[in-house]
Amino acid sequence: MNLKEGIKKVQDFYILSVKAPIGIFQRPVYIRDIIEQMDYAGAGSLFIVLLVSLFIGMALSLQVSAELGALGLRMYTGRIVGISIIREIGPVAIALSFAGRVGSGMASELGSMMLGHQVDILRVYGISPIKKLVTPRVISSIVMLPILTIIGDAVSLFGGYYIVAFVSHQSGSFYWSQIRDIMIFENIFAGIAKPFIFGYLISCISCYMGLSTSGGARGLRRSTTSAVVLSTIMIILSDFVLTRILLYLLGMRV
């Protein structure tokens, strides 16, 4: 790929990522498509989110409890687990799961439509592919990923409670009192703000890779793989940037 092609791809992605959210405020609004995508992204991802979140909370609680036990500080397990899950681990882990399931699905579905010339048919009838195909997927990701993150965080905290109360034999009520103490605006805002950005990035990257598919089955495999890989990289990079920005905005010095 030469420099000219690279610049063109960046330009195409920029146009898609700008037009897709703008389409929310333009008619026609494809309500049925939005609901279908929300069902696929939300309800369809619920089981894997619950499973991943539960074992992340349990594993983190085990590790933290063991390390703090050596220092005689095991009673602070709930506080450390709660802050880690709400601010950092929960949003990132669920976003990665979302990218693996929903992002790859978006890329493969749109890629198949490109190879089957269904996208070209939309253009023939004067229908914007971005408005019809991308905007509902962006909306569903921005709405459903934060909801999944809230549910996943709650499940992770219950997983941590199980380890604390029934494996480490600590006070369950003290664990929940620590969780209640960390439910302050700074922690909640940091944990809720990230999924909106992650959902936007995942949907835009996946849709772009799907709509740029060419070369038959091999090209479809390549675009689907690229969507997941690029989404994963952007989640990690944006998480660092967002964490730095949020710490500054919330007045929490490092």
The string of DSSP letters for 31-82 reads HHHHHHHHHHHTGGGHHHHHHHHHHHHHHHHHHHHHHHHHHT-GGGHHHHHH
The reported pLDDT for the residue numbered 43 is 87
Span 57-77, pLDDT tens digits: 999 999 888 888 777 777 888
Alpha carbons 24 and 26: distance in angstroms, whole number: 6
The reported pLDDT for the residue numbered 253 is 63
The reported pLDDT for the residue numbered 23 is 80
pLDDT at 171 over 90: no
The reported pLDDT for the residue numbered 204 is 93
The reported pLDDT for the residue numbered 195 is 94
Contact by Cβ (8 Å): 200, 97: no
Contact by Cβ (8 Å): 216, 115: yes
pLDDT at 166 over 90: no
Distances (CA, A) of 71 to 3, 51, 173: 55, 31, 22
Read off the pLDDT band of 22 (50, 70, 90): confident
Distances (CA, A) of 75 to 10, 23, 68, 151: 50, 50, 8, 25
Contact by Cβ (8 Å): 198, 91: yes
Alpha carbons 149 and 137: distance in angstroms, whole number: 18
The reported pLDDT for the residue numbered 13 is 84
Can you state the percent helix, strand and coil of the chain, rounding each to 5?
90, 0, 10
* Omega within 30 of 0 (cis) for the link into 28: yes
pLDDT at 41 over 70: yes
